[in-house]
Amino acid sequence: NAGVTQTPKFQVLKTGQSMTLQCAQDMNHEYMSWYRQDPGMGLRLIHYSVGAGITDQGEVPNGYNVSRSTTEDFPLRLLSAAPSQTSVYFCASAGTGNTEAFFGQGTRLTVV
């Protein structure tokens, strides 16, 4: 089982560029979410989804866009990258029924 797969692992962007961080899970989980991890701030929720076609904002959604057209995939789009978006991004998934969350290996993004 691959679990939660994130691509790319590393990315450098110039300010103003756009890109999509990919996340796929093969566990048929309904819940998927995106977090960013910054030194001294811990992990903070960006966006989440409770099923295909349903998304909602988390704690720090500005500058990010998501959609969920299938159960398996939950891409995160940076519309116009800013240096403040330099971070490590993690995607997570979980099944319904009060179950544990599984995390991908992360994408380390640098915006210059």
Partner 1 sequence: KQEVTQIPAALSVPEGENLVLNCSFTDSAIYNLQWFRQDPGKGLTSLLLIQSSQREQTSGRLNASLDKSSGRSTLYIAASQPGDSATYLCAVDTGANSKLTFGKGITLSVRP
Binding residues for partner 1, rule CB under 8 A, total 25
Nearer to partner 1, 19 or 43 (CB): 43
Q: What are phi and psi of 103, to 5 degrees?
A: -115, 150
Give the nearest distance from C-beta 51 to partner 1 in angstroms.
10
CB 77: neighbour CB atoms within 10 A?
A: 14
> Are residues 45 and 35 in contact, defined by beta-carbon separation less than 8 angstroms?
yes
Query: Using CB under 8 A, which residues numbered 23 to 42 contact partner 1?
Result: 31, 33, 35, 40-42
Is residue 106 near partner 1 by the rule CB under 8 A? Answer: yes
> Are residues 22 and 81 in contact, defined by beta-carbon separation less than 8 angstroms?
no
Distance, in Å, from the CA atom of 13 to the CA atom of 31, rounded to the nearest integer, reads 29
Is residue 7 near partner 1 by the rule CB under 8 A? Answer: no
Interface residue list for partner 1 (CB under 8 A): 31, 33, 35, 40-45, 48, 50, 58, 90, 92-94, 98-106
